[in-house]
Amino acid sequence: MRIKIVGTTDKLILKEMAVINQGFFDDWEFVDNDADIEFELASKNLDRYAYLKMYLEFLEQRFGKQQPWGLLNHMRPNKLVHSLKKRGASNDEIADELKRTYLVHDDKIDLLLQVANHQLAVIPDLYELENEVSIYIGIPFCPTRCAYCTFAAYAYVPNKKWVAPFLDALLNEVKTIGSYLKENRIKVTSIYLGGGTPTMLEAAEMESLLTAIYAHIAPAERLREITVEAGRPDSLTREKLELLKKFNVNRMSVNPQTFNQGTLDKIGRHHSVEDVIRKFEIAKAVGIPNINMDLIVGLPDEGKDELTSSLKAISKLAPESLTVHMLAFKRKSEISNERSLYTIAKKQVLKGMAKMTYDFANQHQYLPYYLYRQKNILGNLENIGYAKPGNECIYNILMMEEAQNVLGLGVGASSKFLIGESIHSPKDLGTYIENHESYTQRKIELLEHSLKTEAKSFIDD
């Protein structure tokens, strides 16, 4: 679809119009000539949302389609809900604001309020954690690189020479950050080891890292939670799982993404469905209390039948939490760069598949506790984290809602501060190793500034 916009060249407005387009067209572009449709802003000097409302209503009337998320196209839509709650708004007042200003449909309003209220039940002091921090630690190694992935992840075997120097740099960062936090009596709420796949490290390397984390940052008993992302079952051994239990890791992931072997082969996950089931069962046997599983809806050549198969497998295993992602075409991923090689379900099928996951979660007593949206997400839908009561991931809530300062250590890790600034550690292994000290110092400076200025969460959203 070739679209001509008349009446504005504002880059921010055009950017948000572009997001709206995703809900209507598989392929589209803004053009100056030879347009299929033309939209002219009839009024001048309106605020941004007034312009966007006019554009959305134009598309809905022209094409007879509805956009359930309306104009609420931020990655973190629940931040707005929490902002209103923190100012004292009731659920009814929030619902009215979402419908009137952002044109959000009732089903999405209900979802947002359910998630926000659940988050406050899980973390009653959610609005009072500005003086604490959470920590993300990025381990950039995986068995192989998945076709949809854009994270800082390197295939382990060809990059094994980097493991030792990377760990030396990371341990130095752990010690430096930990020393600053202890000297300034800054509490750590939660720690999340992600990547990559942290369990690609050898057991001895994992033990060294966890020992350093507890010694220099905080011992397990002072943390509300420590999570290890062990998403690839081909990275797991009983020895490593017993090690996680020994170190009181209270949440981990064993991620199938799908229970259809043909799809796993197609997307570059070189493990079997049986591997997923076996490693999950070992993790339960050694006593890991909270295991999450991820599913991706909309993987190549998958439709309702394939999703039904995956949901049946999830039902049998009954993990404590389940995260449902809609496939997103991320820039620089293989699946985006070679899009013509992959067959993806149509929008209406995807919406039906999303409803299947909503119904499954409800039927199996999984409650939604966080959600986020992405650019180029299929069906213009959302990713939802579900958990059985008492198994919600605290870090996911704090990070996704940006409720406190988050320090990112390791390759590709992002540090985000309540003052509105962020710093991203290098994704390149060599660059991180060579420059980690300067990045670490910058993180400390930004944290110090955020704490000194008493920056607050959910104020300017």
Q: What is the pLDDT of residues 165-177, one digit of tens each?
A: 999 999 999 999 9
pLDDT level of residue 275 (50, 70, 90 thresholds): very high
Burial of 400 (0-12, 13-18, 19+ CB in 10 A): buried
Q: What is the structure's pLDDT at 184? A: 97
In a domain? residue 202? yes
CATH number at residue 278: 3.80.30.20
d(CA 139, CA 411): 7
pLDDT score at 268 = 81
Angstrom distance (rounded) from CA 187 to CA 453? 18
Verify that 169 and 63 share a domain, yes or no. Answer: no
pLDDT of residue 377: 77
User: pLDDT class for 39, splitting at 50, 70, 90?
Assistant: very high
Does residue 85 belong to any structural domain of this protein? no
Residues 302 and 164 in one domain: yes
pLDDT at 161: 95
Identify the residue with better confidence: 27 or 455: 455
- What pLDDT, on a 0 to 100 scale, did the predictor assign at position 16? 87
Instruction: Enumerate the β-bridge partners of residue 38.
Output: 4
The whole-number average pLDDT for the span 13-26 is: 86
**350 inside domain:** yes
Q: Select from 11, 5, 8, 70 the least CA-distant residue to 31.
A: 5
Cα separation of 367 and 432, whole Å?
A: 38
Tell me: the pLDDT tens digits for 111-140?
A: 999 999 999 999 999 999 999 999 999 999
Structure tokens at 379: 């069906």
Put residue 89 in one of left, alpha, beta given phi > 0 → left and psi -120 to 50 → alpha: beta
Q: Which residue has the higher pLDDT, 270 or 137?
A: 137
- Per-residue pLDDT band for 331 (boundaries 50, 70, 90) equals low
318 in a structural domain: yes
Q: How many domains is the chain built from?
A: 2
* One domain, residues 250 and 351: yes
Domain finish residue from 374, 393, 410: 410
**Residue that is last in its domain, among 43, 67, 91:** 67
Same domain for 404 and 334:
yes
Cβ atoms of residues 263 and 301 within 8 Å: yes
Does one domain contain both 291 and 398?
Answer: yes
Q: What is the mean pLDDT of residues 79-94?
A: 96
Q: How far apart are CA 28 and CA 285, in angstroms?
A: 51
Give the range of the structural domain holding residue 35, as residue numbers without chain letter. 1-67
Say if residue 333's pLDDT is above 60.
no
- What's the whole-number average pLDDT of the chain? 92
Same domain, residue pair 52 and 156: no
Residue 232 has pLDDT above 80, yes or no: yes
pLDDT at 187 over 60: yes
The closest of 223, 178, 213 to 193, measured between CA atoms, is: 213
143 lies in the same domain as 234: yes
Q: Specify the higher pLDDT residue, 89 or 230.
A: 89
Whether residues 251 and 165 share a domain: the answer is yes
pLDDT value of position 64: 92
First CA to last CA distance, the chain = 33
- Residue 271: band (very low, low, confident or very high) from pLDDT cuts 50, 70, 90: confident
Domain end point (choices 34, 51, 67): 67
The pLDDT, as a whole number, for residue 151 is 67
**Per-residue pLDDT, 339:** 60
Whether residue 405 is contained in a domain is answered as: yes
Q: Are residues 347 and 274 in the same domain?
A: yes
Q: Answer yes or no: is 92 within a domain.
A: no
Residues 295 and 189 grouped into a single domain: yes
Per-residue pLDDT reduced to its tens digit, 133-178: 999 999 999 877 666 656 677 888 899 999 999 999 999 999 999 9
The pLDDT of residue 160: 92
Q: Tell me, what's the pLDDT at 329?
A: 67
Question: What average pLDDT does the segment 180-199 reach?
Answer: 95
**Residue 338 counted as domain residue:** yes
Q: Are residues 186 and 271 in the same domain?
A: yes
Q: Are residues 58 and 143 in the same domain?
A: no
The answer to whether 343 touches 327, Cβ cutoff 8 Å, is no
- Contact 256/295 with Cβ under 8 angstroms? yes
* Residue 319: pLDDT over 70: yes
Q: What is the phi-psi region of residue 402: left when phi exceeds 0, alpha when psi lies from -120 to 50, beta otherwise?
A: left
Residue 360 lies in a domain: yes
